[in-house]
Structure 1
Amino acid sequence: MLVKEELNRYNRQIILPELGLNGQEMLKAATVLVIGAGGLGCPVLQYLAAAGVGTIGIVDDDVIELNNLHRQILYNHTDIGLSKAKTAAAKLKLLNPHVAFTAYHERFKADNAINICQDYELVIDCSDNFTTRYLVNDTCVNLNKTLIFGSILQFQGQVAVFNHHGGPNYRDLYPAPPTENINCVEGGVIGILPGIIGLYMANEALKLICNIGENLSGKLMTIDALNNMVSVFKIAYEKHPEIAKPTAKTIKEIDKSTLDQWLSAEADKIFLIDVREDYEHEENNIGGVNISLYELSGSLASIPKNKKLVFYCQSGQRSKIAVQVLEGSYEGEVYSLKGGLLVHYS
């Protein structure tokens, strides 16, 4: 329920027939996670807070530097050396005291991604590197979260909405990271560009939350600020029906002690599969082979027959989905490691 001060604060928004009082209440009830509080994150955060999004999480392990200030205009020179996430939350609270902020002064990594994301209904990727972008995407696919994506370099920017109601995800557009990773540090960026792209991202968020207008799901918008060119491309992709949240149907799970007993007593009868992405497997694993959940259905020929399959992942969610994927197509027993690595190996 909106209080009198909020009705006055958001008046110019509420009188829009497409939004109205109901839309403003939807914004207040919304939970949004913004990953990255830099060039893109600053305008996204400022406009989401100003619009009245009720709960906003901010993830960034970086501190404010002098060379940030030409484009990250939420900050000023007195903030140099301070945490971006914590400073952003404090400044935004002054902008709108009706919004709840949670600052995560930590790097978004495989071992905390699900824990951070799971309580938010919408994720906005404002990161500046491919490792984080792929991790954000894969986490959103795993948790069935809609993802708003943006990127900037020099005078060019991109905006898209991924994993929305069965739409494409980031890997459908960019299956693998490029061999060269040129970012703003090496390539530079005009200071105004993150404002332009960030505002489009914030606009997509408001439309998605309020279920109004046409969004960029299945499309990629590109903006060339140097030559004033805006293009929207349709993303070609194949649907991934096997990637869905586990249903209430019982999934066979085992705990660490049971797995240890099996490996000790009958290791030759157990086939262990890590269904995380390769970068997660390389960071830490408990053995076995690495077959991404998203490649599992096409990799059946490489899996031995008539063995006990045990799937594991970071939290136990993707491994439960893997059990469902193989159900009916594998002759042997199939299990998921309950709780994943976070519970048993952290």
Structure 2
Amino acid sequence: MSRFERQIILPGFGIEGQQKLKNSKVLLVGAGGLGCPVLIYLAAAGVGKIGVMDGDEVSISNLNRQVLYGEKDLGKPKVEAVYSYFKGKYSDIQIEAIPEFISVGNALEIIAEYDLVIDGSDNFPTRYLVNDACVLLGKPLVFGAIYQHEGQVSVFNLGENGFNYRDLYPQMPAAKEIPNCSETGVLGVLPGIIGNLMALEVIKVLTDFGMPLKNRVLFFNSRSSQTYEVEIAANPNSGSSIPNSFQAFEQMDYELACEGIKQLTWDEAMGKMGMDIAFVDVREPGELPPLECTGLIKIPLSTLANRLSQLEDTDEVLFFCQSGIRSQKAAEQLQNEFPEKRIYSIKGGINALKKN
């Protein structure tokens, strides 16, 4: 008896549908709250090869929603934990672990090897980057996102007249405009629900079974358990916003285009220690862990507007917070006041420093 018997006997799916899954190669970008349920159900359904791309490690705050991981996985690269989980579970699946974040430098080469891409990321620069790469390569993209109590799912760039993410959201918003769950919170079941819907869309696209959410967005509200759909219309400006060549894509700075503020990693920030630079902690008093370093100034974001004069004589300022969201707001606020200054936000905040 095949473990796929219940799928094969489903009218309209059959052996042909199962064979299509077996022969398919999909790439998941982001093995977090959305990516975990996607992985569980695509692997169970029999997708032949799944690439998992994520440069993050498992942390304790992940465990309420990232259901592939447990306490024994803390500190491990997520893709390593994913590979270990599935290695002994199914003999008929190939998991390719890619322990890095997607970027303009690696996206085209990696995505080109797959039939379909799944965007399980949690930030706008990555969403636009993945979308543009898929458009350039002609790859369908299954998209999902969550914010507090609401989630959304769609299928972009599918077949003829398949609209893309920029048709829905033509202008890049700053990530600070819609904080991620590290700033606003989320019930773990919501990414589970949205991730399962994403897995369903992947299966429909790969097997031509059912009606994928092409040119439609499904919205789900967890507080009311209500759903509704919105149809996507072609946006005349979407094409001009996408790089028109591989070379143009690789020259894009999606973070700068999205944020308007240059971001630095902690390694880059630490390399500036000892210079005439202000390191500004915009977290509220009592947020942990504390950080002590040369040039540290503590100015909570809630008081920054009244304390900008403290930074008036400093030519270069590096802001950080817990996750990198409030520091972007602070950097933009200071940049508006002092446009001539060199101002940066430290990417990922203290959460990223703890993983170094």
1:150 aligned partner: 144
Q: Are the equivalent residues in 1 in contact too, given 2:28–2:118 (CA < 8 A)?
A: yes
Equivalent positions of 1:236-247 (< 5 A) are 236-238=233-235
2:224 pairs with 1:224: no
Moved more, 83-92 or 51-60: 83-92
2:2 pairs with 1:14: no
1:311 aligned partner: none
Q: Are the equivalent residues in 1 in contact too, given 2:21–2:47 (CA < 8 A)?
A: yes
Measured in 2, the distance between the counterparts of 1:193 and 1:275 equals 33
Kindly state the Cα deviation for residue 276 of structure 1 after the two structures are TM-superposed. Answer: 5.8
Equivalent positions of 1:225-304 (< 5 A) are 225-238=222-235, 274=248, 278-279=252-253
**CA RMSD, aligned part only?**
2.4
Pick from 26, 29, 45: which aligns with 1:35? 29
2:145 pairs with 1:171: no
1:280–1:69: structure 2 CA closer, same or farther, 3 Å change rule? closer
Measured in 2, the distance between the counterparts of 1:131 and 1:275 equals 13
TM-score, normalised relative to structure 1:
0.68
Pick from 181, 190, 215: which aligns with 1:193? 190
1:182–1:26: structure 2 CA closer, same or farther, 3 Å change rule? same
1:259 aligned partner: none
Kindly state the Cα deviation for residue 236 of structure 1 after the two structures are TM-superposed. Answer: 1.2
Kindly state the Cα deviation for residue 275 of structure 1 after the two structures are TM-superposed. Answer: 6.1
Measured in 1, the distance between the counterparts of 2:129 and 2:173 equals 15
Kindly state the Cα deviation for residue 8 of structure 1 after the two structures are TM-superposed. Answer: 1.5
Measured in 2, the distance between the counterparts of 1:277 and 1:171 equals 19
Q: Are the equivalent residues in 1 in contact too, given 2:48–2:94 (CA < 8 A)?
A: yes
Q: Are the equivalent residues in 2 in contact too, given 1:274–1:281 (CA < 8 A)?
A: no
1:281–1:36: structure 2 CA closer, same or farther, 3 Å change rule? closer
2:153 pairs with 1:159: yes
Task: Please list the CA deviations of residues 251-303 of structure 1 after superposition, one character each: whole Å capped at 9, or x if unmatched.
Answer: xxxxxxxxxxxxxxxxxxxxxx94667426979xxxxxxxxxxxxxxxxxxxx
Measured in 2, the distance between the counterparts of 1:242 and 1:177 equals 13
Pick from 210, 215, 223: which aligns with 2:212? 215
Pick from 131, 134, 150: which aligns with 1:140? 134
TM-score, normalised relative to structure 2:
0.67
1:212–1:131: structure 2 CA closer, same or farther, 3 Å change rule? same
1:332 aligned partner: none
Q: Are the equivalent residues in 2 in contact too, given 1:221–1:233 (CA < 8 A)?
A: yes
Q: Are the equivalent residues in 2 in contact too, given 1:148–1:204 (CA < 8 A)?
A: yes
Task: Please list the CA deviations of residues 71-127 of structure 1 after superposition, one character each: whole Å capped at 9, or x if unmatched.
Answer: 011111010000101211220222222101100000100100011100100000000
Pick from 58, 74, 77: which aligns with 1:83? 77
2:183 pairs with 1:183: no
Task: Please list the CA deviations of residues 168-206 of structure 1 after superposition, one character each: whole Å capped at 9, or x if unmatched.
Answer: 100110112224141111111111001100000000011
Q: What amino acid maps onto 1:40 in structure 2?
A: L
Measured in 2, the distance between the counterparts of 1:275 and 1:89 equals 30
Kindly state the Cα deviation for residue 212 of structure 1 after the two structures are TM-superposed. Answer: 1.1
1:81–1:234: structure 2 CA closer, same or farther, 3 Å change rule? same
Measured in 1, the distance between the counterparts of 2:144 and 2:67 equals 18
2:124 aligned partner: 130
Q: What amino acid maps onto 1:159 in structure 2?
A: V
SS of 1:220's partner is strand
SS of 1:95's partner is coil
2:90 aligned partner: 96
Q: What amino acid maps onto 2:23 in structure 1?
A: A
1:78–1:275: structure 2 CA closer, same or farther, 3 Å change rule? closer
Measured in 2, the distance between the counterparts of 1:223 and 1:275 equals 33
1:202 aligned partner: 199
Kindly state the Cα deviation for residue 229 of structure 1 after the two structures are TM-superposed. Answer: 1.2
1:223–1:280: structure 2 CA closer, same or farther, 3 Å change rule? closer
Measured in 2, the distance between the counterparts of 1:32 and 1:192 equals 24
Unaligned runs of 5+ in 1: 1-6, 247-272, 284-346
